[in-house]
Amino acid sequence: MLNPATVNKRVLIGVGGGIAAYKVCEVVSTLFKTGIEIRVILTRSAQEFITPLTLATLSRHCAYTDDSFWQPTHSRPLHIELGEWADLLVIAPLTANTLAKLAYGMADNLLTNTVLASTCPVLLAPAMNTDMWEQSAVQRNWHQILIDRRYHGMNTASGLLACDRIGAGRMAEPPEIMAYVQSLLHTQGVRDLVGKQVLISAGGTREYFDTVRFIGNPSTGKMGLALAQAALHRGASVTLVHGPANWDVPLGVQAISVTSAEEMQQVMRSYFPTADVIFMAAAVADVKPRDYSPEKLPKRSLPQALPLEPVPDIIAQLAQLKQPHQRLVGFAAQTGDIITPAIEKLQSKKLDVIVTNPIDQPDSGFGSDNNQAIILDRQGRKVEIAPCSKLLMAHHLFDFVR
């Protein structure tokens, strides 16, 4: 589906020589479907793993190789044209060889010449054997290149590698790469949250009355996940406190899983003092069963009426602890009139900002990949966010809070 935020954006993807090159096919195909213009450069070793024809087909444009570089078929030097054309450059997989060249400003092929001939942000997704990745020379090059704020590095994952080694060095998965691309196209590479601690709650809580039955809600935590991704991509240190979820935590995010409102309260209060920005995006239960059975109750023993009691009001407690430098952001999922109850919550809870979103609109709210909202603050500012991806909405929220 076309994404209005990315239509006419231009992304140049450089493919290095590694088995992870096959993952780039999904990245290229998916980004093209969002409306992004794609160009691809393959190094000579990358062509041992994947063909230019494959990537040309997926990107709907010829894929460039070193042979293209040396053929005088362009009115201007190819690396200059490509470098000026790109809004963003992605190198995936980034090999130890290409990393070393970038770290020392070397340019001996089309890809490295294009990097030096461009000024756009560069996203690096390394992939290599664990022993290679952990070599002191490779780590030195990695840290050296990231000193240049033009370069944005993705963490490697740990797991079973193609060489049968279990350890670090796996390239980030395509959905993570695509999310980072979306972020960089929005921020243009600006990392305005470097040095900031961002604390986020996400997902629904569950209040059990026996071992298998609980009071809950349909929240999936996708909005909190998007906030964590956006904060990470903008340079923040991120702690994500989430209820039961079926998504993967982004590499580089400290995630703490909880179940009940009481557990979430304890963790949020523990991390709150060091946080600069706090997003209470979790859909916390309002009540819990008064009694709990440590065994599953047979159907005949279920109570005809379930006595309830309130759960802790987490965000109200955090507001009481808030220091002047901290920003506390709440959420209000509403039906019908979404503004009046949001303003009431903003004032009664003493929040800095509240995000109110309709959950009775199609493709919005709980479980959706998209959202829409109105953002309000205590100074009377009001910004309406039209339907968009939750990641883009997260960036709009950070723009507002900033």
DSSP codes of every residue in 221-233: SHHHHHHHHHHHH
pLDDT value of position 71: 78
At which of 153, 187, 221 does a domain end?
A: 187
Would 291 be classed as within a structural domain?
A: yes
Task: Please tell me whether residues 160 and 253 are part of one structural domain.
Answer: no
Q: Is 331 annotated as a binding residue?
A: yes
SS3 197: strand
How many Cα atoms within 13 Å fall on the side-chain side of residue 70? 4
Task: Please tell me whether residues 281 and 381 are part of one structural domain.
Answer: yes
Task: Please tell me whether residues 331 and 259 are part of one structural domain.
Answer: yes
Task: Please tell me whether residues 39 and 134 are part of one structural domain.
Answer: yes
Task: Please tell me whether residues 248 and 139 are part of one structural domain.
Answer: no
Q: What is the CATH number of the domain that holds 98?
A: 3.40.50.1950
How far is 281 from 278, CA to CA, in rounded Å?
9
SS3 88: strand
Would 47 be classed as within a structural domain?
A: yes
Would 353 be classed as within a structural domain?
A: yes
pLDDT at residue 1 greater than cutoff 70: no
Nearest to 202 by CA among 220, 182, 177: 220
Task: Please tell me whether residues 85 and 18 are part of one structural domain.
Answer: yes
Q: What is the mean pLDDT of the chain?
A: 93
Would 1 be classed as within a structural domain?
A: no
Segment 273-290 shows an average pLDDT of: 95
Would 4 be classed as within a structural domain?
A: no
Vertex 256, ends 312 and 277: CA angle to 5°? 70
Q: Is the peptide bond before 294 cis (omega within 30 degrees of 0)?
A: no
Would 2 be classed as within a structural domain?
A: no
Nearest to 161 by CA among 93, 237, 236: 93
Do residues 378 and 351 make contact, with C-beta atoms less than 8 angstroms apart?
A: yes
DSSP codes of every residue in 248-295: PPPTT-EEEE--SHHHHHHHHHHHGGG-SEEEE--B--SEEES---SS
Domain residue limits at 205 = 197-401
Task: Please tell me whether residues 276 and 130 are part of one structural domain.
Answer: no
Total Cβ atoms within 10 A of residue 4: 12
At which of 137, 159, 187 does a domain end?
A: 187
pLDDT value of position 166: 85
Task: Please tell me whether residues 160 and 240 are part of one structural domain.
Answer: no
How many Cα atoms within 13 Å fall on the side-chain side of residue 185? 26
pLDDT value of position 275: 98
Q: Whose structure tokens read 């460039």?
A: 64
Task: Please tell me whether residues 264 and 235 are part of one structural domain.
Answer: yes
Would 270 be classed as within a structural domain?
A: yes
How far is 267 from 263, CA to CA, in rounded Å?
6
Q: Is 313 annotated as a binding residue?
A: yes
Is 62 an annotated catalytic residue?
A: no
At which of 166, 187, 208 does a domain end?
A: 187
The answer for residues whose C-beta is within 8 angstroms of residue 240's C-beta and 6 or more apart is: 200, 201, 202, 224, 225, 228, 249, 253, 254, 255, 256
Q: Is 80 annotated as a binding residue?
A: no
pLDDT value of position 402: 82
How far CA 150 is from CA of 233, 269, 313, in Å, comes to: 13, 36, 42
Beta bridge partners of 371: 388
Would 3 be classed as within a structural domain?
A: no
pTM for this predicted structure: 0.92
Q: Is 358 annotated as a binding residue?
A: no
Task: Please tell me whether residues 374 and 245 are part of one structural domain.
Answer: yes
Question: Please, which pLDDT band fits residue 74 given cuts at 50, 70 and 90?
Answer: low
Q: What is the CATH number of the domain that holds 220?
A: 3.40.50.10300
Task: Please tell me whether residues 215 and 70 are part of one structural domain.
Answer: no
Q: Is 312 annotated as a binding residue?
A: yes
Q: Is 315 annotated as a binding residue?
A: yes
Tokens of residue 265, six digits: 């309260």
Task: Please tell me whether residues 34 and 183 are part of one structural domain.
Answer: yes
Number of domains in the chain: 2
How far is 205 from 284, CA to CA, in rounded Å?
5
Nearest to 31 by CA among 65, 61, 7: 7
Q: Is 215 annotated as a binding residue?
A: no
Element (H, E) at 201: strand 197-202
How far is 368 from 222, CA to CA, in rounded Å?
8
**Which residue is catalytic, options 25, 62, 120, 163?**
163
Segment 323-349 shows an average pLDDT of: 93
pLDDT digits (tens, 9 = 90+) for 79-89: 999 999 999 99
pLDDT digits (tens, 9 = 90+) for 175-231: 999 999 999 999 999 999 999 999 999 999 999 999 999 999 999 999 999 999 999
Do residues 154 and 180 make contact, with C-beta atoms less than 8 angstroms apart?
A: yes
pLDDT digits (tens, 9 = 90+) for 94-130: 999 999 999 999 999 999 999 999 999 999 999 999 9
